[in-house]
Structure 1
Amino acid sequence: MADLRIDNAVVVTMDGTRQVIDNGSIAITADRIVAVGPTAEIAAAHPAGEVIDAKGMAAMPGLIDVHAHAGHGLIKTLAGGDSNAWFDACRVVYTLASDPGFWHAEAALAGLERLKGGVTTGVSLLGGGDSVMRTDTRDGGDAHLDAVKDLGIRVQMAIGPTRPPFPWTYGTWKDGVRTDYEVTFEQQIATCETLIRDRHNTEGGRLNIAMLSPTLRKEHLGNASAEDKATMVEQAKKASAVAREHGLIFTQDGHRQGTVQFAFDELGILGPEALLSHSTDFTDEEIKICADTGTKIAHNPSAIASVMGRCRAPEMIDAGIVVGLGSDGTAPDRSGDMFRHMQQCMHYHRRHFQDGSAMPPGKVMEMATIDAAKALGMEKEIGSLEPGKKADVILINLAAPHLYPPNMPLYRIACFANGADVDTTICDGKVLMKGRKVLTVDETRVLDEAAAETELMFDRTGYRDLLKTPDTFFGHTHY
């Protein structure tokens, strides 16, 4: 007797043979898939307490976003194209103008967007800008994880130290008054250790911790004294050592040409647990280093980093590197919709090669499912619909004008679908959304709290001027 059975779907398994079952069923007991196959067979063998008739829908593994930023959901529109002002806003908000209420509201908002778009697993760095992390205390991390716990999806919350030099000034708020204090590298590492101890691999494995350290690039090292450079190197090694000690993913944001060579030669932080984001303009030698060390790549084709440089994802994949797909979060001009990023990925590389056959639709589907699971070291648990794996399943409503005529479902999903086409989201065997209605949280409350915390952030920063539409918004070809 199964707890839940999905019938009459086009089942896109993403298993080892990439099997597609035209009229298929998925049987689920507790948090695991127990059977996948033709509806006639599965329905007879697995009576269920609840049955979802998915006629006219496609069933897929829950999508996976391998790189995003917590905090960005509440500052996504600021500065209207002025990247310097936006980066400065990140620094101020994440260190001085945010409290646990901010981090909870943002995680609930970003997580709700993921849930409604069929993203059941995501990496979220607890901060951003130029690696400004909210790890002065554990309060922000706890707030983020509590919000995700309530939603019911999975997260790899990446935490670690802010970019050196230290100390950094952080602030806490009480009764509208801010109290500032200095934070050291050692304090941030200690915060990470407590979060790992208390929150990693909890809620049945839905809540997880990853470690990070800032990527060291030429602009950070070029003018540094020998002593400061040695300190930066030592701190990166220490953060990586924490990840290895606890068996965590170790991620870094913003790799580009030269940084992998430095990480390999000077840091020794590459390996199967390492996940490098953006990864633009790598040399052939750096691609070989990643392949030889088993280092994984998070490709964010919609990000500004992919405008300023090119992630050589097809070349990396051909070299044997695991490349997963990421959103880079929702700020300043993106979304959590992984269908959007699949489509962007195809066009991004086709333009480069001037070849419409580059990056086939099936490859980008793999990058958002099974390859993404491999990038997180979770391919034995998620990323495909197979017996024994976690029951992370989404149903995509194919009965829509932009998804018709009713043929070639794989192409319809990869090329034409969007997050709003997701009808049902299931994570860990629990139905989180059905018929587009979220069952785990009150959507209106999530939106209201996000709006309230954003207004509070503006009160604390005076950044309302960054909401002004630039004079060059209309009538110009450049901001």
Structure 2
Amino acid sequence: MIDLLLIHGTVITMDKDRRILQDGAVAINGGRILDVDITEVLLEKYEAKKVMDCSHHCILPGFIDAHGHGGHSMFKTIAMEDFWMPIITNTYKHFVTDEFWYYEGKLSSLERLKAGITTGVSVLGSMPRSDEPIFALNHAKAYAEVGVREVVCTGPCNPPWPHLFSRWVDGKQITREVTYDQVLHGAESVIEALNHANDDHTRAFITPFVIVTSVDPSNPTSPAKLYGLNDHDLYQAKKIRQIAKKYNTRIHSDAFGGMIHLAIQDKENALLGPDVHLQHCRGISFDEARILAETGTNVSASPGFTQVQARTPITELIEMGATVAISTDGTSPSTSFDMFQAMRKTQFIHQSALRDEYYLPPGKLLEMVTIDAAKCIGWDDELGSLEIGKKADVITVNLHQPHLTPEFMHVHRLVYQAVASDVDNVIVNGKIVMEGRNVRTVDEHMVLDEANEEAYATVKRAGLEKHMQPSKSFWGQAREYIDEKRYNEDDYKFTVTKGEHK
């Protein structure tokens, strides 16, 4: 007798033939997919401990969010009308407790679960924070308890070094200087502890903030300023390569226009290649896109206004043969973990930029959050499609609703009309973790209450209340302006005296 049989659904396999089975079924046993066929055939072949009737449902692989941020779920919309990056980065460096990462991990994994994301990448903080392993350990523990697979990404942030970081011990803030090599050691400890942990629900990648540190870390750099790699760029690439090789893990980082041109100059240690997954890649040149495709470097990109300023050449990369995934980059300051929205936004942005409404058809979009995303994170041997022998990470989407009826052209219906809350059932590793939108692994109300309490405490500790207030031009105005009194650069500078923050 097998563990689980899903019957009478429309099965969207995402296998190499992209089969769609009407009145289809999926047999699951021992955490893996045992069989995929029409319902009549599998009912004759198997008896199951549990049979799930998926009439009026699509059955498909769980979504894979190839890039997001641990911590962000506690800071949704805070400072989004201010200088968001320095404010929130400063908060991560100095005002979050060790327990924060556990409660935030519970919240973000729960949101991902209810959106049909069965595997999520989490870069810890706005820039990676790895001065202490406890943050990643707590985050991974939370994801494991909820039942969502997590790729934990830790590594060094950008120069200058050393950096100041704070821990909170018995309610007191202890601030210390941390060197670059100490941060690398912390990241190694995380990878050693978490890669393939929790029955392989958890993996850990080495994650420098960007692949080249000597240029703008968040935007494309003009060719006139691409002077070449500096000593720190070379040292970082060498150390990151050594860590990836030592622990047989992958490399994940951000990249923007100009960085790829510079990175390829380091022939021996370039942070490019099939074991590398780069987020954003906005504003890259044609030559840089060609380098990514030729080196087999994986790319993910999230939709947002910055794509209007400097687009990721997703369509060109795909046509060159690169693997590209859609990611959320969620959830702060204003992005959810809704992969349906991410697909639609991505399509709209690139159709608008190229002035062609036929770019990125719905089938390709669905590939980019399932099998292509699995390839990006190096897990496509087990995830991303419903095929015999793969891990049983499966979701069902309830089509028996006005906005998803009539029930035909199922991929179109999912991509163009569905939303996260239409995901009805979620199975991870053969285990039902959500059934009828009821989460079976944790007390959802308790998770929300604990997250609220920790978020409010962090806001108060970090003095973020002023960044939660409407600006003077919030109401009745066509354009908003930042109130200069809400942001003072000196508020985000730290000194150290006898180990304690002053």
Query: TM-score if structure 2 supplies the norm length?
Result: 0.91
SS for the counterpart of 1:472 is: coil
Residue 121 of structure 1 aligns with an amino acid whose one-letter code is T
Counterpart position of 2:14: 14
Aligned to 2:186: 191
Contact 1:211–1:240 (Cα < 8 Å) also in 2 = no
- Paired residue for 2:63? 63
Deviations 1:385-431 (A, max 9, x none): 01100000000000111111222111101111011000000000000
User: Distance in 2 between the 1:107 and 1:120 partners?
Assistant: 14
Structural mapping, 1:406-445, within 5 Å: 406-445=407-446
Gaps of 5+ in 2: 481-502
Q: In the alignment, which residue of structure 1 is the partner of 2:494?
A: none
Q: CA deviation at 1:470?
A: 2.1
Hey, what's the Cα distance between the residues in 2 that align with 1:261 and 1:80?
Answer: 32
Note the C-alpha offset of 1:93.
1.3
1:121 maps to which residue?
A: 119
| Selected match of 1:107 from 79, 96, 105 | 105
The one-character-per-residue Cα deviations of 1:66-91 (angstroms, maximum 9, x if unpaired) are: 01111111112112422x2x112222
Contact 1:278 1:306 in 2 (8 A): no
Counting only pairs closer than 5 Å after superposition, residues 270-349 of structure 1 correspond to structure 2 as 270-302=272-304, 304-349=305-350
Output the CA distance in 2 between the equivalents of 1:380 and 1:231: 35
Q: Partners of 2:428 and 2:216 in 1: how far apart?
A: 42
Distance across 2 between alignment mates of 1:251 and 1:417: 30
Which region of structure 1 is more displaced relative to structure 2, 227-236 or 334-343?
A: 227-236
Residue number in structure 1 paired with 2:256: 256
Deviation at 1:473, TM superposition (A): 2.6
Contact 1:62–1:394 at 8 Å: present in 2 too?
A: yes
Indicate yes or no: 2:36 matched with 1:31.
no
Q: 1:182 to 1:287 in 2, by over 3 A?
A: same
Separation in structure 2 between the aligned mates of residue 227 and residue 172 of structure 1, nearest angstrom: 36
| Structure 1 position 227, deviation (Å) | 13
Aligned equivalent of 1:141: 136
3-state secondary structure, aligned to 2:122? strand
SS at match of 1:204: helix
Deviation at 1:165? 1.4
TM-score (norm 1): 0.95
Alignment-mate amino acid for residue 414 of structure 1: V
| Corresponding residue number in structure 2 for 1:152 | 147
Local SS of the residue matching 1:329: coil
After superposition, where does 1:84-103 map in structure 2 within 5 Å?
Answer: 84=83, 86-103=84-101
Q: Distance in 2 between matches of 1:145 and 1:293?
A: 31
For residues 218-250 of structure 1, give each alpha carbon's deviation from its aligned partner in whole angstroms, at most 9, with x where no partner exists.
23699x9x9993124312331232123322221
Q: Structure 1 residues 408 and 228, CA, compared in 2 at 3 Å: closer, same or farther?
A: closer
Query: How far does the alpha carbon of each residue in 1:420-449 deviate from its partner, in whole angstroms, 9 at most, with x for none?
Result: 000000000000000000000111111111
Amino acid at match of 1:219: D
- TM-aligned CA deviation for residue 453 of structure 1: 1.0
Query: Does the aligned pair in 2 maintain the 1:80–1:469 contact within 8 Å?
Result: no
Note if contact 1:69-1:125 (Cα within 8 Å) is conserved in structure 2: yes
**2:483 — aligned with what?**
none
Deviation of 1:450 after TM superposition, in Å, equals 1.0
Q: Deviations over 1:353-400 (max 9, x none)?
A: 222111100100000000001111111100000110000000000011
Cα distance in 2 for residues equivalent to 1:408 and 1:295: 33
**Cα distance per residue 1:78-130 (max 9 Å; x no partner):** 12422x2x1122222111101221111111111100000000011110111xx
Q: Is the 8 A contact 2:308 2:349 kept in 1?
A: no
Counterparts of 1:18 and 1:97, CA distance in 2: 48
Distance between the aligned counterparts of 1:476 and 1:20, measured in 2? 49
User: In structure 1, what is the equivalent of residue 498 of structure 2?
Assistant: none
Provide the C-alpha distance between the structure 2 equivalents of 1:179 and 1:431, rounded to a whole number of angstroms. Answer: 42
C-alpha RMSD of matched pairs (Å) = 1.9
**Could you tell me whether the CA contact under 8 Å between 1:202 and 1:208 is conserved in 2?**
yes
- Assess if the C-alpha contact under 8 Å between 1:213 and 1:236 holds in 2: no
Match for 1:89: what amino acid? Answer: I
**What is the letter of the counterpart of residue 196 of structure 1?**
I
Cα distance in structure 2, aligned partners of 1:472 and 1:330: 25
Output the CA distance in 2 between the equivalents of 1:426 and 1:17: 23
Give the Cα–Cα distance (whole angstroms) in 1 for the partners of residues 111 and 449 of structure 2. Answer: 14
Listed as ranges, the matches of 1:344-423 within 5 Å are 344-423=345-424
Answer whether contact 2:23 2:38 (CA < 8 A) is retained: yes
| Contact 1:277-1:299 within 8 A present in 2 as well | yes
Counterpart of 1:7 in structure 2: which amino acid? I
Cα distance, 1:281 vs structure 2:
1.8
2:98/2:168 contact within 8 Å kept: no
Show the counterpart of 2:202.
207
Q: SS state of the match for residue 177, structure 2?
A: strand
- Quick one: which amino acid aligns to residue 5 of structure 1? L
Q: Percent of aligned positions with the same letter in both sequences? A: 35
C-alpha contact 1:330 1:336 (8 A) present in aligned 2: yes
Amino acid at match of 2:215: K
Q: Does 1:218 align with 2:219?
A: no
- The offset of 1:48, in angstroms, is 0.5
Task: Give the counterpart letter for 2:271 in structure 1.
Answer: I
- C-alpha distance in structure 2 between counterparts of 1:144 and 1:163, whole Å: 22
User: One-letter code of the match for 1:425?
Assistant: V
Is the Cα contact below 8 Å between 2:11 and 2:60 reproduced in 1? yes
Query: Partner amino acid for 2:15?
Result: D
CA distance in 1, matches of 2:415, 2:147: 25
Distance 1:474 1:307, change over 3 A: farther
Structure 2 residue aligned with 1:265? 265
SS at match of 2:7: strand
Aligned residue pairs: how many? 471
Any conservation in 1 of the 2:261–2:288 contact (CA below 8 Å)? yes
Give 1:177 shift.
1.4
Task: Give the distance between the partners of 2:139 and 2:342, measured in 1 at CA.
Answer: 24
The question of whether the paired residues in 1 share the 8 Å contact of 2:29 and 2:430 is answered with yes
Report the Cα distance in structure 1 between the residues aligned to 2:381 and 2:15, rounded to whole angstroms.
11
Q: Are the counterparts in 2 of residues 5 and 52 from structure 1 also a CA contact under 8 Å?
A: yes
C-alpha deviation, 1:478, in angstroms: 2.7
Deviation of residue 454 (structure 1)?
A: 0.9
